[in-house]
Amino acid sequence: MRVRKDAHCCIRGPILDWLHGRRMAWRPGNHHRIAMKLYYTPGVCSMAVHIALREAGLPVMLARVDLHTHKLAVPENGTDDYYTINPRGYVPLLQLDDGSRHTEVASLLQYIADLVPERHLLPAAGTRERLEATGWITLVSTELHKVFSPWLWHKETAQSTQDECKAKLARRFAELDRHLQTRQFLTGDTFTVADAYCFTIVGWARILKLPLNDYPALQQYLSRVGARPAVQEAMRAEGLVRD
């Protein structure tokens, strides 16, 4: 079957085809939705949003960005310059089905969760449980994400700064480890988008070879979240795992 260039198609199942350079995900019940587009780089903070979209069962097109060159893997409107899409130059950027574009992980996670309340990716607004969940999102953003990045990703960072960042991360890892000794996920026994964010950011410790041996509950948590089908789908689509 020939696919028109302007067609909006959703493909699901074991076959993940490239459609004009962008992968598309689909889940049953979403045939009435137009796919959003996520601008991402494999394994970075945008993966939290990618995981959330798949956990939500929302159709999404992926547009890969090289953060070193700020180039799109597949040019759009005659250019591969990502700055024409996002003047800030970073990911994630989520383009909604109305064409509007939005950034910031914490905001996007809450937006996605609220689109599908039946998935229970966040508790209802105005509840104590919601306050707890958004508190974890904020903690991951300020106490983990912003400690890892940019300081530990750049070789030119002073050693004293790196040591300070690693010490702070160790304290937060210990806190998470204690917390997770009595629960499956950050807010209890239900996965939320806060877990998508925590899994993504804490996972950087392995890439940077920061030891997690002293945090067995945290390690088990990472394995538990990483085994979820939606998480595996997101990582596979980003080329981080293979069948």
| pLDDT per residue as tens digits for the range 28-57 | 344 446 799 999 999 999 999 999 999 999
Quick one: which of 183, 167, 173, 186 has its CA closest to 215? 173
The architecture in CATH of the region 128-228 reads Up-down Bundle (1.20)
Check: CB of residue 98 under 8 Å from CB of residue 92. no
Place of tokens 């293979």: 242
Q: What mean pLDDT comes out for the span 50-76?
A: 98
Q: What percent of the chain has pLDDT over 90?
A: 81
Q: Say what the alpha-carbon torsion angle 59, 118, 102, 34 is, to the nearest 10 degrees.
A: 30
- What ranges do the domains of the chain cover? 24-119+230-237, 128-228
Half-sphere exposure of 145 (CA within 13 A, CB side): 22
Residue 180 pLDDT > 80, yes or no?
yes
3-state helix, strand, coil in the chain (%, to 5): 45, 15, 40
**pTM (predicted TM-score):** 0.86
Strands 71-76 and 36-40: unpaired
Domain 128-228 in the same topology as domain 24-119+230-237:
no
Answer whether the bond into residue 150 is a cis peptide, omega within 30°.
Answer: yes
Q: What mean pLDDT comes out for the span 115-120?
A: 98
- The CA–CA distances, whole Å, from 122 to 38, 195, 233 equal 21, 10, 21
Q: What mean pLDDT comes out for the span 115-141?
A: 98
Quick one: pLDDT at residue 222? 99
CB atoms < 10 A from the CB of 174, how many? 13
Quick one: which of 90, 114, 113 has its CA closest to 102? 90
Quick one: pLDDT at residue 34? 75
Check: CB of residue 193 under 8 Å from CB of residue 202. no
Residues forming beta bridges with residue 94, ordered by sequence position: 38, 102
Which CATH class for the 24-119+230-237 domain? Answer: alpha beta
Residue 214 pLDDT > 80, yes or no?
yes
